[in-house]
Amino acid sequence: MTQVKWGIIGLGNIALKFSEGFQYTKNAKLFAISSRNKNKLQAFKNKFQIDDNFCFTNYDSLLECKDLDIVYIALPNSLHHEWVMKSIEKEKNILIEKPATVNFLQMKNIKNNLKNKNIFFSEAFMYRYLPHISKVIDLLKNNVIGNLVSMESFFGKDIASRKKIFGIKLNKLKKKPNRNNRLYNKELGGGAILDLGCYPVSMSILIASLIPKFDFNKIKVLNKKKDIGLTGVDMNSFAELEFGNNFKSTIGTSFTQDLGKKTKIIGSKGELILEDTWHGNPSLINIRGENKEKIEIECHNNIYKYEIDILSKCILENKKEPNFPGMTINETLENMRILDKWLN
């Protein structure tokens, strides 16, 4: 096998942007698609020239494809656990859209079911594969700002007035929250913490893991602040993460405020500011320490290309999870534990 055959379950806006990345890869091919919406299925089939035999209105039928190497599950949050479990039953490699599940216990169940199975699993935090994240890691490892002390990371949008996030249209949202929209529906795993807050949590884990004596079991969630909207989901939320290695992170997310996409990392000799953590096209890194420096990192127009490339390579190498800085199953489990504590 020299080219990994991908299948996608759920053909929403994120799946569309992800699928556009295949044209820029050599080791991956969009092979099969599934949607219960026949119009979406036909549109995807036409746009990406998918063989009729591999276009399904039934999700189970896609999982029955013997030639399929990995399935990307891009369904609403509340359906993630169910279809990950079904994918495990069919022994399919899995990329699950973030958040992996809607609570910690669901993710723990997934991890337990993956034990002793030769199945690749990862959560789709595509930002971790972008060039500017690799550059930040290299800078921090080279002590450009000294010993790491703390950080701040945010992801918040006034989604009612925004047209796009990650290039994805949000034209169905209205100023008044609509329970039918998954972002505002608690039963569908809506709310700012699960949908956007998972990003700064995962970034905090990534940076904290660079410090010696990092221990998943010693992370505390403190000083939680949360505003609940009319539909019962959290709209604005802030918290502080305290790591056992004396590192702290302030995190925030919002559906009503444009908090930006900035991450600030503070060290003993200065600070590093990443202006666009999640998108990075381009991303400016400001270093304020013994010497001031600005580094601009360019990346491909389709930011999902990197994720497809790297994860396909993992499949070809028969790995069960991505290499650093990809999201490992233990990081995903901890991410969900923190999100649970932040939510409840």
pLDDT of residue 260: 87
Kindly list the structural domains of the chain, giving each domain's residue range(s) and its CATH number in brackets, ordered by start: 4-125 (3.40.50.720), 131-298 (3.30.360.10)
State the pLDDT at residue 315. Answer: 98
Interval 231-262: pLDDT, tens = 889 999 999 999 988 899 999 999 999 998 99
Cα angle value 297/303/305 (rounded, 5°):
115
Read off the tokens for 286.
Answer: 């400001």
Q: What confidence score (pLDDT) does residue 280 get? A: 81
pLDDT at residue number 188 = 86
Task: State how far the alpha carbon of 290 is from the alpha carbons of 207, 210, 275, 287, in Å.
Answer: 21, 21, 20, 9
Residues in a beta bridge with 242:
220, 248
Q: What is the pLDDT of residue 107?
A: 99
Tens-digit pLDDT profile for the chain (344 aa)?
Answer: 789 999 999 999 999 999 999 999 999 999 999 999 999 999 999 999 999 999 999 999 999 999 999 999 999 999 999 999 999 999 999 999 999 999 999 999 999 999 999 999 999 999 999 999 999 999 999 999 999 999 999 999 998 665 555 555 554 444 556 667 888 888 889 999 999 999 999 999 999 999 988 888 889 999 999 999 988 899 999 999 999 888 999 999 999 999 989 999 999 999 999 999 998 877 889 999 888 999 999 889 899 999 999 999 999 999 999 999 999 999 999 999 999 999 99
For 66-87, the DSSP string reads TT--EEEE-S-GGGHHHHHHHH
Is pTM beyond 0.95 here?
Answer: no
Q: Residue 307 in contact with residue 129, Cβ under 8 Å?
A: yes
